[in-house]
Structure 1
């Protein structure tokens, strides 16, 4: 039986910028440790270790294969370009390594299904790298959203995720290259919008989706900005999201219910590491003569002892340790969440690629 005091030993495939944040999270989480880092060049891997002040005990490898072949590595974090996810996630699962995969998870849901099948057949945990799911604020929002006496039924959802990078981003970043990350802003920023919309709907897939003509592509044909709508016919719910590399920083979601509503400005990355808040209103109405409101929105504050990315690592590591200890099986919930997002992501891209036709799911 595995000793629960032994932390989950992570290996990281690649030295992407986001890996710096995840390295820190691995070190902050109480049940994990960074064991190995790899790059296609040993110099780049060593530079990453030095730049991030990592322990001299961290193994440095010049290939991803070496991480997967290291018998001490329990789990791998994969921040590689989306076009490489299928190959390396499947190889990792086949090597019995648990897989924390950066989003978007795959080039299409067929590829993701192959990844999930590999994880299931090898008995390893899968999770994507969407950090906001693991913040205590998210659990508090879901608690209020799920109370029919306070929130009622979801009626409408809006989300946005955007930022304006420097000019060199559009020349060099993998998210602007069709052969590396063909979803562009839709996969990078839109993944969050789609995720929180589906979260609000308890992951029920919409009846159809439609990208709007206000879609901008670069010279490689990669989406730099787009807007899309989702519709649930049975519930009569409409959701709209905007994602872009061409406008200022936004990370918002607003959910309107029959009895209440909430709004978050900093969903993806909270303004502060130690706490996060959201605005909530229930039972709001206009006063007589419609000259004001009967209440102001309530600001709900949630304090947290770890950054959200460390909560993600902690949750993932808890599952890995349970699997190693033979007390639990891999939690397929996380793969299901990723798959729902991938299905909608594929559908929005299909709509944009087909002249903005409605795509039924």
Structure 2
């Protein structure tokens, strides 16, 4: 890492606030991104920060802090990756922006859109880049998917979208993980993995907000009232007939499915959030398929489309974020607005799902 800093003195210097498991993955991503370097780690416990650095084999040049304030006060930190519990985002994200630190914020971005608006306002008024930690959006496969579903001849009008994100929570996870603690991550599965489902639906629709969101009556909560599993339907009525369904759960086998059917084609990706392999990812795509005579088969089989990636998607995320930060620093550009806008729309729909659940699964209009 010291060699990397010497080779690229213009690299964006990252600080990480918090030693959550996901921070290990992003620390590696920062190391892999050619325009970024890991400069500092902070935890509320100096010993925990030191252990994080030691376990990750981080360079001795990485600064270790025993408080988040110390890291944010360091003038050498250009950007902050923040994997803190959602209940802490508002305070620390706003403070980071006021300290002129570019902000890569782990999802869910906030407990509700009113909190997120305060974070985004702080970033806007201080001229710093905001981005949430949705890594899959930065994979080249995602761009290839968009190209194909946007082709009116190959795919046509999107009719149906289905997205699932599930994981088998262990007994220890369901009893003690921060994601099921109402004081730390009150949104539970909705915020943690439902964020991906909602984000994928909006991405497919070019972030056109739906008109109606309706949670389905399969909601499961723990004894503290935190959502463990849920489904919802999403509609763009009346002019747009697209229907989307999402399902997210801490109580099922691992799944990361995204499927779409259009007027002329269909696609299915079974690992859209985290690819099965780092260096390549694939999906099935079919166009113009019909039954053959007597319905004994199909005239076209799904074709597998494979996309190569030179870096893991999380490193591509860091690279894009650091590029935005460098453009601001070097050329005086404004922060790229597409990232806060997409996060805000995802949060709006998430809030609507939550409101529908709270209303006993009644439809909510946006």
Separation in structure 1 between the aligned mates of residue 114 and residue 85 of structure 2, nearest angstrom:
17
Instruction: Tell me the residue number matched to 1:256.
Output: 261
The superposition leaves residues 4-47 of structure 1 with CA deviations (integer Å, 9 ceiling, x where unpaired) of 85100000010000000000000000000000000000000000
Separation in structure 2 between the aligned mates of residue 297 and residue 327 of structure 1, nearest angstrom:
47
2:56 corresponds to 1:27: no
CA contact (8 A) 1:126 1:335 kept: yes
Instruction: Tell me the residue number matched to 1:69.
Output: 73
Separation in structure 2 between the aligned mates of residue 88 and residue 77 of structure 1, nearest angstrom:
11
Once the two structures are overlaid, the 10-residue window that deviates more, 322-331 or 346-355, is 322-331
Instruction: Tell me the residue number matched to 2:3.
Output: none
RMSD: 1.0
Separation in structure 2 between the aligned mates of residue 24 and residue 4 of structure 1, nearest angstrom:
17
Q: Give the 5 Å matches for 1:75-224.
A: 75-224=79-228
CA contact (8 A) 1:209 1:230 kept: yes
2:57 corresponds to 1:53: yes
What is the TM-score of this pair, normalised by structure 2? 0.97
Instruction: Tell me the residue number matched to 2:4.
Output: none
The superposition leaves residues 59-104 of structure 1 with CA deviations (integer Å, 9 ceiling, x where unpaired) of 0000000111001000000000001111111000000000000000
Separation in structure 1 between the aligned mates of residue 175 and residue 268 of structure 2, nearest angstrom:
35
Give ranges in structure 2 of 5+ residues lacking alignment. Answer: 1-6
SS at structure 1 position matched to 2:27: helix
Instruction: Tell me the residue number matched to 1:230.
Output: 234
Separation in structure 2 between the aligned mates of residue 220 and residue 78 of structure 1, nearest angstrom:
26
Instruction: Tell me the residue number matched to 1:290.
Output: 295
Q: Give the 5 Å matches for 1:275-286.
A: 275-286=280-291
The superposition leaves residues 333-357 of structure 1 with CA deviations (integer Å, 9 ceiling, x where unpaired) of 0000000100000000110011111
Q: Runs of 4 or more off by more than 6 Å in structure 1?
A: none
What is the TM-score of this pair, normalised by structure 1? 0.98
Separation in structure 2 between the aligned mates of residue 210 and residue 177 of structure 1, nearest angstrom:
25
Separation in structure 2 between the aligned mates of residue 4 and residue 120 of structure 1, nearest angstrom:
28
CA contact (8 A) 1:175 1:182 kept: yes
Report the number of matched residues.
359
1:333 paired residue among 338, 348, 354:
338
The superposition leaves residues 280-316 of structure 1 with CA deviations (integer Å, 9 ceiling, x where unpaired) of 0010011122111101001000011100000000000
SS at structure 1 position matched to 2:195: helix
SS at structure 2 position matched to 1:247: strand
CA contact (8 A) 1:82 1:180 kept: yes
Give ranges in structure 1 of 5+ residues lacking alignment. Answer: none
Separation in structure 2 between the aligned mates of residue 296 and residue 99 of structure 1, nearest angstrom:
44
Separation in structure 1 between the aligned mates of residue 54 and residue 169 of structure 2, nearest angstrom:
26
CA contact (8 A) 1:4 1:321 kept: no
CA contact (8 A) 1:157 1:239 kept: yes
Instruction: Tell me the residue number matched to 2:363.
Output: 358
Once the two structures are overlaid, the 10-residue window that deviates more, 319-328 or 348-357, is 319-328
The superposition leaves residues 168-195 of structure 1 with CA deviations (integer Å, 9 ceiling, x where unpaired) of 1112111001111111011111000000
Separation in structure 2 between the aligned mates of residue 257 and residue 60 of structure 1, nearest angstrom:
51
Separation in structure 1 between the aligned mates of residue 98 and residue 332 of structure 2, nearest angstrom:
21
Deviation for aligned residue 1:326: 2.2
CA contact (8 A) 1:4 1:325 kept: no
Separation in structure 2 between the aligned mates of residue 290 and residue 166 of structure 1, nearest angstrom:
44
